[in-house]
Structure 1
Amino acid sequence: MSTATARPPLPVKMVIAGGFGVGKTTTVAAISEIEPLTTEASITEVAAGVDDLTHTPHKTTTTVAMDFGCITLDPTLKLYLFGTPGQDRFGFMWDDLVEGALGGLVIVDTRRLDDCFAAVDYFENKGLPFAVGVNVFDGSLGHDLDEVRWALDIGENVPLVLFDARERGSVRDALLVVLELALARAER
């Protein structure tokens, strides 16, 4: 009787994107099976003057390069998660972070929809499959999903999901939506 050699899981790269303070680092940390790699730096007085801390008054750090984590979904599939920095001044890094990605999750804070337009536009221009994850901060949803879809001007082909960036199961479900979307596109 021969024993089959176990194959390592297929690596799949996925990007977590969005504006400043929407929950990208929290999302990666909530789901990662390893200690996530973060490139957090303290928010200085200069940065506080540039970055709007109105809705995140207790935020003391910000991602300056990327976040990285991974999750093995099953013995055949492992997601490698790359979180983008949220500020425009670090946008030059996005092309490198997105290279080779199967899809993306754009995180939205409904209190500041303007902050996610750049991420939505980026994925649309790249032609990369993405879903929009509305992060429900403290159980509060500032706008219903139809209003969010209209405000972001995204078509019905872009999945729009509610999730909580702090909850592992909620993050998993949002990432599975992106994965299903990307796999469906690959099969076409």
Structure 2
Amino acid sequence: MDYATSDPGLVPGPPGPRAPLDASADNGLKIVITGGFGVGKTTMVRSVSEIRPLNTEETMTQAGAAVDDLAGVGTKSSTTVAFDFGRISVNARTVLYLFGAPGQERFWFLWDRLFSGTLGAVVLVDTRRLDDSWYAIDRLEHHGTPFVVARNDFGGPKHSEEQVRDALSLADGVPLVDCDARSRQSSKDVLITLVQHLQTLSAAHPRAREMTAP
């Protein structure tokens, strides 16, 4: 698979060896990274995965420009057409399986199936294009899937947390964090926030606790 990045400013190094799964790992959690077109989902999966990620990126063509909204992502040259897949170990027993959802509206029909069986999700947002995040949040709420929102740093104007929460109509209990999807540590911090959020919900709901217990 091609290891090129969808972020023009990010030049990844050569792929490292595959990390073997710890024999003690017995708690695999499906996590979806979703959001609008060009918000950095593929970049986040690549930056944080401990294995060489599977991706389904294809070169964008002039034909696609007629159906995809390229506003704000004019330098983007490739796009995910199915999903990205990566893996990260939280500890010796818990592993996160990461699925990056395609962002274009023409691929939204895949989301409901991708969200099936998902324990939690990260909604990546570009504060320059907050409207692009509405559908992801709507579908996650429809499925009852817990999620956190991560503002990816594109160097644009900063909005306050209150402004972003108000624009996205986020409930008070939904964590909102800043991140740089190109950074492994920053992306890892987002996933840690999601796991902590799931643990908080699990403690409050016994049935959820049974589902997430290691």
TM-score (norm 2): 0.81
Moved over 3 A (4+): none
Structure 1 spans left out of the alignment, 5+ residues: 1-5
**Secondary structure, counterpart of 1:181 in structure 2:** helix
After TM superposition, the structure 1 = structure 2 runs for residues 68-147 of structure 1, keeping only pairs within 5 Å, are: 68-138=85-155, 140-147=156-163
Residues 24-61 of structure 1: per-residue CA shift (max 9 Å, x gap): 00010000011111111111112123223232222111
Deviation at 1:101, TM superposition (A): 1.2
1:104–1:129 CA contact under 8 A, matched in 2:
yes
% of aligned pairs identical?
A: 48
Structure 1 residue identity aligned to 2:111: W
Q: Tell me, yes or no, if structure 1 residue 67 matches structure 2 residue 84.
A: yes
Query: Alpha-carbon deviation of 1:62?
Result: 0.7
In the alignment, is residue 32 of structure 1 matched against residue 49 of structure 2?
Answer: yes
1:164 matches 2:180: yes
Q: Which runs of 5+ in 2 are unaligned?
A: 1-22, 206-214
> How much has 1:142 moved relative to structure 2?
3.8
Q: Number of aligned pairs?
A: 182
2:124 aligned counterpart, secondary structure: strand
Asked if the contact 2:112/2:139 (under 8 Å) is kept, the reply is no
Q: Distance in 1 between matches of 2:24 and 2:171?
A: 38
**Structure 2 CA distance for aligned equivalents of residues 183 and 100 of structure 1:** 17
Structure 2 counterpart of 1:55: 72
Choose the corresponding residue for 2:166, options 118, 142, 150.
150
Tell me by how many angstroms 1:99 deviates.
Answer: 1.6
SS of residue paired to 1:74: coil
- Is contact 1:111–1:142 with CA below 8 Å preserved after alignment? no
Give me the whole-angstrom Cα distance separating, in 2, the residues matched to 1:56 and 1:87: 12
Distance 1:65 1:44 in 2: 16
Q: Does 1:178 align with 2:194?
A: yes
Which structure dedicates a bigger proportion of its chain to strand? 1
Cα distance in 1, alignment partners of residues 97 and 157 from structure 2: 29
* Corresponding letter in the other structure for 1:180: Q
* Superposed CA offset, 1:122-166 (max 9, x none): 11111110000010114x444222111000011111111101100
CA contact (8 A) 1:41 1:62 kept: yes
